[in-house]
Structures are given as structure tokens and as C-alpha cells.
Structure 1
């Protein structure tokens, strides 16, 4: 009997959640009696586990851990090798499929485009002349497609091949795959400002070196919280192994620091008559 491919914890928990919701709909439609409190507890547990399973949200930065690691056109050793990456090379990890990470194509890694979709504007530059043009792993119509590119995009031309150009500068629209055993997650910037929740752009800005900073409100390790009931936070701050604060801020910013010892700067926005106060995070600083 052929066993199914190994599933990630996220996929397993998502399947459990889907199965539960299916059974729940059957009970509703058939009018079967239910213990509402028991069902509610199971729902909360499954959704919380699913949320925690995705704690390290994509994208996140990574580094190559060995030399001459094949970057491939797909999540398998059967796909073409696009490049060989060296130890300490930084990559942007976008998503995961089984044991493979999908990454943005490094700026120095080349791919191929048919000559009829590129207009040379300079000895080393060209402009794309079509929409959703295939970028391929090799100079062949049979090669894997690793991205699509639209008209007006300016690229760097490395070399001309019969009917094909070898190009770079497509890191935003082309992708490769790395086995996860050759990649480690990098620490985020040592210090960031978390964008306020009420702004249109939830971006992260690196704090200025010369800025005079106040004392941190708390020091501890950030953990994912899963589902909150009756709270607006999404993470928690653990100090000496005990939950001391709930944290509120831009979720993607906070996710970058899960598992790290940090200084927290911000203000308590929900502390009165609360056993565990809620901090609105304004800045995070890794403790080295």
C-alpha cells in the first residue's frame, strides 16, 4: 500500500477543522441533540490550534546553511536546478509545500524569456512587451515555468541564446524552491517599530540608531496566542515561564519575534481589574 505524502501540522489541523465543521453541519441539518457547551469548547480548541500552527507567518527571512545547495524550479529533486546557493546566502521564504520552501528568486539567479517578448533598450537592459509572459528555468518551451511577467517591466539581460534571453532582476515575479533542511529562519531586525493598528499602512520601520529610547515596559519571550475571546490581542509575553501580558499590535510584526527574548515598548490599554494586562506594542527590541 502506498502511504500518503508527509503532511505538515498546518495541513493536518486544517483537515481536522474542516471535518469538524462538516459533522457540525450534519448535526444541525438532521436536528440531532447537541451539548452546546461541549461543542463550543471543541470548536475553540481546533481553531486555536490551527492559529498557533501558522504562528510563523510567511513571508520570513532565511539563510542557507551549506554550500552548493540546489535552488530548484519546483518542490522536488525532479525539477531543474536554477542555481547553486552558498552558505549564509539570504533568501526570502514565501510559503511551504511539504518539506520545501518557496522563495523569491535571488537577484543573481537568472531565468529565460522568449525573445519575442523582450525589447532591448540597452546593451544590458530590456523591457517586457507582453502580459503574463512565462519565465522559464531553461531556454526551452518544455522547461518549467517559474514565474510570469507583465509589459513594461525592466530586466537585466545576461546573455542571448537562440530564441531566448537569459535575464535577471525578476525577484518579485519569479520563484524557486529549496529543501527546508538547508535553510534556517533568520532573526528579524534587532529593533523595529510596530505600525499602529489604526494606520492604513501596517509597515515596519527600523528605528534610528541615535534615537533616545525610553525604558522598556517589560522583558520576556513572545508566544503566539491563538484565538482570543473577549480580547483584542493576538500574542502573549511570557516571563520566567509564566504568562504576564497579552500583546496587541500589527500581527505580522509581532509574528516575526515569536520565540525571541525581547524588550517591549508600549502602553497598557487594558489593565484595570484584569488579571493579565494588555499592552499595545509600539516597539520591539531583541535582547542579545
Structure 2
């Protein structure tokens, strides 16, 4: 009886130990997404879905890095690498530059081939940008977008890092930043050009000794008066003559002097 009790006690403890081990094991494989994964085999297929029956999109090799988005049983959803093909209908793209466009539709499908019967591997929305590689009949082939995805068997991926910022592959992002900086510079120049005025009027000398740096005035054809800043060494030859002056109006100076000041950039005699 004692032996039987001892045997049952040992058995009970072993069962509890197994439960604990299972619990610890399950907790140890808990995953957090997204993460950076590394391929651990050669010529591993990335497919359009979570099965070998789905279309093969591209393959990756040992050491390649992939951004893993989520898991579905034994398959990982990954951001497609540069070796994958992306196609999008030309009717939903407005060209910004010959090789760069903006999506002008909602829920626009990215496809694996230039064919509406091919696999849908992602969707874009209005305002998304795409890098165009080539154009075919009704489709653009685009650089693989960060919103295009495929599936890979989990046994071919090992965890590399939680930090996915080191995964640099999206040229369309770089192009978009480049165009944004270009646009900002163009807007700055346009704003600067807007501040440049052209005034036609007669050059006069001003007699306020307190404004010794502002020797000349311009009486415009509409009778408005401006002080002219710059070209003092030559404007004396144009007193009482009509000239065309281009420059920037210093609006802040109006609080100090009675008339606006034009910082002259260019002038010419009006014949």
C-alpha cells in the first residue's frame, strides 16, 4: 500500500512537471511582429498564399533578410524582396516623373503579373507612390512596393532582430523624399520670386539727411513713392530719368520710414 502510494505520488509529480515544461516551452516561442528574419536555406520559394499550391512569386537564398509581418500556422507573411515582380494597372497611376507615379484610385491591386487573372499580392490607396521600371500593355512593372506581400514556410526563417529599420529596400520611399525636397525648394524659389517686384518710375534724390543711406527715390507712374537701396554709385546719372527697377520690397522698413524701400537687384533706362 505504501509502495503504491509512493508510486502514484511520483507519477503525479512527473505529470505536473511535464505540464510546466509544456507551458514554459509555449511561452518561449511567443512571437512579436514585425521582425527581421534571415533565410536559412537555398532557393526557398516565396508564394502568393499559405500553401505550396499557390503561385511562386520569387525565391530567396541563405542569408537573405526579410521583414516578417505575421504568422498563419506554419507560414510567415513577408514583405516582398527586390527580386519579386510587381505590376499595377496604368489607369490608376498619374505620372509625376517618367519613372515615378502617384496612385489615383482606391484599393488598387498590385499583381504578380501584367494580367488581371494573376495573384493579388497587395493593395495601394490614393496618394501612394510607385517607382516605375517599365511599361507593358495596360500595366506598369513597378519596383516591389512595401505594401506587397508573399508567404514563406516558417522552417526556412530564423529570427534576426526586432529592429526592422535596418532593412533598406524601398526605392520609391527614397524617390518620394527626393521629390519632396525638390518640391520644397521649388516652392521656396517661387515664394522668393513672388516678392520681387518691377517698378517703372522717375529717379529723384531725397532730401531727408537722416536717411543718408537712402540717397534716391523712385516716383512710380502711379505716383507711389519708393526709396531705392543699392546702385547709389550709378543712379546719380539717372536723376529725373525714367527707369525700370526690379527688386524686393522691404515691408518691415515701412515702420521706420515714410515710404517702402526697394532693395534693387536690377535696373535699366526706359526709352
TM-score by length of 2: 0.47
TM-score by length of 1: 0.45
Bigger radius of gyration among the two:
2
